[in-house]
Structure 1
């Protein structure tokens, strides 16, 4: 009787489980996204409008993490909430790509360069020369306006398709230009959405509409932190706790970004509490305009200077950390609260119809920002070491804005190279 032949070996699949493969792909994509965020954090000069322009160029056109309409939609959604608009926008893009963990990492990577620079500025305040800093970034400012102008052109090309949208874009641009009020931005966005809502019947009905379910955890976290910090600061009287409450409260109430935040912080920390002098605050305000990344990083500067009476560099570092944490947390909690049900809310035809008007108004606001950012630039003539006749009388800043626009339109020169050349020119000629 012959022995039984051994059973054939089991087949071994060389293909990893789909779920593990998908997790690895998302992890790699998240790392690439964080590298892009780090690049933006070091090169995105010019405030929220210029940030949006660079988001559009890198995250939409080059990487295609989202499309132009989605970017405008998210930016408009963030503009309707209190907090730093550009920070909330890039954070929620991270949330869309990788969930809460990637979103928090995005926030940290995006804010860190500006926060570190503003903290160092506070620690070395007596050694800084604001005039030299202004000379360094003198060419970055018109370049940033060029970025915003290019963004206005590209965004309008992507989202303006009807006469109604054209009318809303023009009206929003004019109103934002002539009435520079904190409440104007959310009011225009809501009005634009209301205008196109009446056309909701033109949108198809969702066949499998998911039920709207609101998760309240982040809202309660936002409100609980606000109330808890106020009570803790009142009873302990500890300066770091009171600073956290001050920044958290201001971050919960400000609409419109860093431009609106500045007068609130000036009234709180200079006029009322006298933690800083007027010249110190204005020096910090000028410096933060020269920094890449979020303008809300001025909280690190104010927090560090506010902790001077307690003595020691370590206490000033604590003040910077408290200020940054307090100013960025409210907007983060609120956008995490809204974004979790936004995709389900936008299933409804009324909401879909309103997005056309919101996107058109957003395009108009970017157009208005181009002119609003250009006006404060000083009038300077082209100053060459040699004479070229009539060319010598050309105004410099419009030339830089136009050159930046054309370089971006050419699509051969990366944004970081344009900013680097502007900084190098400022360092050499300043």
Structure 2
């Protein structure tokens, strides 16, 4: 076995370790990457890690997954990067697909089965509010961005169509790109040298899935197109995915109930790995009519659809990123894109609360979850587990 093969094997083993232990959101994930990938293994330098993280955060798609794949790309090229992607997403995909099967089984066989989730449903909204606050603090830095965020929240709330989101992101980016002169010049901008193969791959799959879905009306193809399109449009991480999925699969297509969605989202906050794994839960329940094979197929199709576009795009951009980041209009457009994403998060928190009964218990659990996340060091899995235990206790002893 060559030294390179051993290095690749060790790298994939490190990715598996992260996929099983990366609790606590983006900050904890980055700390683990810094410790394991930079300090212990020296796969990349600390400066490269922060540069790659910045690149992944400005591209659509799952930033943590893109970062894992980008590191794999730097270490061993595309083949290692795709293997790293598979190892990273597999545990969370299987857990959330299994969760969908369990939730559906309980609902079919046990009346009031979701009573165990009576508290984690409002707690899910607490998680979204906390994510929105963190995201807004990080991304909204100007009056213009604040106004864009409020407009985006207003439009997202009153026009809950999945097709309005890409239009708002585009308009948000264009509205701030005209202020490019406010961006500092890093150095003289040079002509870009671009290799288009991965861009053509991304666009080709997008068009092919859309055409095939429109012609065949075959549910698995339609599902893949839905998630691939969403994965091509999400800026800002897993929390921004929530309004997209809720609008399309709960409001628009009615594949899930609001209670099912909130339960799955809350559980996804308590497992390790990528936060985009909520997609496998949604995909699995969207194909429940096909039985057990439908659940498994739906979970895997959703995972492929949501993760692949971001990976194609990171492989496309990473080759000329050092040149692209010098262009001031590109950096200026990010302000508007990020502000619109924050507005969608605000709308998502309200839209998810709307189906719940507005009672004191729900308000207490929403606020309690937010305050635990904001002011304590209690981890998300512990908070979710406590909510499930309280729900089970209430179902058996207080009903």
Q: In structure 2, how many angstroms separate the alpha carbons of the residues matched to 1:372 and 1:156?
A: 18
Stretches of structure 1 lacking an aligned partner (at least 5 in a row)? 1-16, 40-53, 79-87, 235-241, 267-280, 307-315, 381-394
Given that residues 190 and 358 in structure 1 are in contact (C-alpha distance below 8 angstroms), is that contact kept between their aligned partners in structure 2?
yes
| In 2: Cα distance, 1:290 partner to 1:100 partner | 31
Please tell me whether residue 260 in structure 1 is matched to residue 270 in structure 2.
no
Q: Partner of 1:374 in structure 2?
A: 353
Q: Which residue of 1 aligns with 2:116?
A: 136
Q: Deviations over 1:329-380 (max 9, x none)?
A: 3343332222223343642321111011112222222223222222222133
Shift of 1:214: 1.8
1:248 partnered with 2:233: no
From the superposition, tell whether residues 263 and 401 of structure 1 become closer, same or farther in structure 2 (CA, over 3 Å).
closer
How many residues are matched? 341
1:273-293 deviations in Å (ceiling 9; x for gaps): xxxxxxxx667x744542233
Query: What is the distance in 2 between the residues matched to 1:228 and 1:369?
Result: 31
Q: Once superposed, what is the RMSD of the aligned Cα atoms?
A: 3.8
- Please list, as runs of the form range in 1=range in 2, the aligned pairs for 1:206-245 lying within 5 A after superposition: 206-207=187-188, 211-215=193-197, 216-220=200-204, 243-245=219-221
Give the secondary-structure state (helix, strand or coil) at the position aligned to 2:148: helix
Once the two structures are TM-superposed, the CA of residue 320 in structure 1 deviates from its matched residue by 3.1
Distance 1:124 1:164, change over 3 A: closer
* 8 A contact 1:122–1:305 mirrored in 2: no
- Unpaired runs of 5+ residues, structure 2, are 38-48, 73-80, 234-243, 269-277
Aligned counterpart in structure 1 of residue 173 of structure 2, from 171, 175, 193: 193
Tell me, in whole angstroms, the C-alpha distance in 1 between the residues paired with 2:171 and 2:8: 41
Q: Distance in 1 between matches of 2:294 and 2:261?
A: 17
What is the match of residue 263 of structure 2? 290
Larger Rg: 1
Structure 2 CA distance for aligned equivalents of residues 259 and 155 of structure 1: 20
Return the alpha-carbon distance in structure 1 between the equivalents of residues 211 and 164 of structure 2.
Answer: 28
Aligned position for 1:356: 335
Aligned to 2:309: 334
In the other structure, the counterpart of 1:106 is 88
Whole-angstrom distance in 2 between the partners of 1:404 and 1:26? 36
| Structure 1 contact 244–325 (Cα < 8 Å) conserved | no
For the structure 1 residues 367 and 97, does the alpha-carbon distance in structure 2 shift closer, same or farther, using more than 3 Å as the test? farther
Question: CA 1:225 to 1:127, structure 2 compared with 1: closer, same or farther past 3 Å?
Answer: same
Q: How does 1:341-420 map to 2 (within 5 A)?
A: 341-343=316-318, 344=320, 346-347=324-325, 348-380=327-359, 395-420=360-385
Task: Tell me the distance in 2 between the aligned counterparts of 1:263 and 1:412.
Answer: 35
Distance 1:25-1:367 versus aligned 2 partners, 3 A rule: farther
Within 5 Å, give how 1:83-162 maps onto structure 2.
Answer: 88-98=62-72, 99-120=81-102, 126-129=108-111, 131-133=112-114, 135-162=115-142
Aligned to 2:42: none
1:62 and 1:178, CA in 2 relative to 1: closer, same or farther beyond 3 A? Answer: farther
Q: Please report the TM-score for the alignment, with normalisation by the length of structure 2.
A: 0.70
Is this contact kept in 2: 1:30–1:97, CA < 8 A?
no
2:6 pairs with 1:30: no
- Is residue 214–residue 341 contact of structure 1 (8 Å, CA) maintained in 2? yes
Question: Residue 385 of structure 1 corresponds to which residue in structure 2?
Answer: none
Q: Which shows bigger deviation, 58-67 or 244-253?
A: 58-67
Q: 1:58 to 1:183 in 2, by over 3 A?
A: farther
